[in-house]
């Protein structure tokens, strides 16, 4: 949650009018059925597909976006392990054309723009149960008809663990074990801690929230792949306050 809140803070810093919807507390099936798959930090994750997922389970949340938005209008999806340096409205202003989904020009789907109405038939239930879409195919949109995905989002909106001042629009801390809130020493970790301190100073994130998220480390026993904020976060935060 802490990474998601820092991400939201930087997003709203450059685009105050943006409406942000978090998915870290949502079951995959909106009726509350947890027999397929859940991505709630408090509970074990279950999977009954014949093709077991790999990578990060929260990745499936991106395909809940149209349903969460009531299959109306357009929406932008971004992962939570990011900070922004420009207004996301610049992605919003990219025309969809005949496409139902926009991805990065380099082929990645960590940032996506969606035509929610145009994706109505592809609910998470349909993808996982009826179509039995694999993890890799799901992340790459391979379940969609040809021509529905367009590579229009500039690569500067998803720089992976690299930052170029004046160029990078969005910094993605993509390697889970080296994320700045998990382990000290990331080359650009200071940018994340600067954003965290700014968010706490502005009252967007409470200091107590940072402490609470660090105390959740014991939940690693629930899902070993989870990476939680570590005590060094408070040290870095205190230096900046």
Domain edges within the chain: 15-154, 158-240
Query: Beta-carbon neighbour count of residue 99 at 10 Å?
Result: 19
What is the spatial distance between Cα 58 and Cα 40, in angstroms, rounded to a whole number?
A: 9
- What average pLDDT values come out for the chain (241 residues) when binned by 10 residues? 95 97 61 42 40 55 83 93 97 96 91 94 76 76 88 97 98 92 95 98 97 75 62 96 96
pLDDT of residue 108: 87
H-assigned helices in 96-169: 124-125, 135-139
Residue 145: DSSP 8-state: P
Give me the pLDDT at residue 150, please: 95
Residue 52: is it exposed, middle or buried by C-beta count within 10 angstroms (0-12/13-18/19+)? exposed
Residue 99's pLDDT is what? Answer: 95
Q: Residue 218: its pLDDT value, please? A: 58
| Confidence at residue 46, expressed as pLDDT on a 0 to 100 scale | 45
Q: What is the pLDDT of residue 131?
A: 77
Buried b (16+ CB within 10 A) or exposed e, 100-139: bbbbbeeebbbbbbbbbebbeebbbbebbeeeebbbeebb
Q: What is the pLDDT of residue 140?
A: 77
């Amino acid at each position: 949650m802490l990474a998601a809140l820092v991400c939201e803070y930087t997003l709203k810093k450059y685009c105050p009018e943006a409406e942000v919807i978090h998915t870290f507390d949502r079951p995959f099936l909106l009726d509350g059925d947890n027999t397929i798959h859940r991505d709630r930090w408090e509970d074990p994750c279950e999977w009954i597909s014949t093709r077991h997922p790999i990578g990060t389970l929260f990745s499936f949340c991106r395909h809940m976006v149209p349903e969460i938005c009531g299959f109306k209008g357009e929406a932008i999806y971004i992962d939570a392990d990011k900070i922004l340096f420009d207004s996301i409205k610049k992605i919003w202003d990219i025309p969809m054309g005949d496409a139902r989904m926009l991805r990065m020009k380099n082929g990645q789907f960590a940032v996506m723009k969606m035509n929610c109405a145009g994706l109505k038939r592809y609910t998470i239930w349909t993808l996982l149960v009826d179509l039995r879409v694999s993890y890799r195919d799901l992340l790459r949109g391979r379940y969609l008809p040809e021509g529905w995905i367009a590579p229009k989002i500039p690569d500067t909106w998803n720089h992976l663990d690299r930052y170029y001042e004046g160029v990078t629009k969005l910094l993605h801390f993509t390697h889970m074990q080296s994320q700045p809130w998990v382990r000290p020493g990331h080359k650009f970790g200071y940018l994340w801690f600067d954003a965290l301190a700014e968010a706490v100073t502005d009252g967007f994130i409470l200091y107590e929230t940072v402490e609470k998220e660090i105390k959740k480390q014991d939940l690693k026993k629930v899902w070993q792949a989870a990476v939680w904020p570590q005590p060094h976060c408070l040290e870095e935060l205190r230096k900046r306050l």
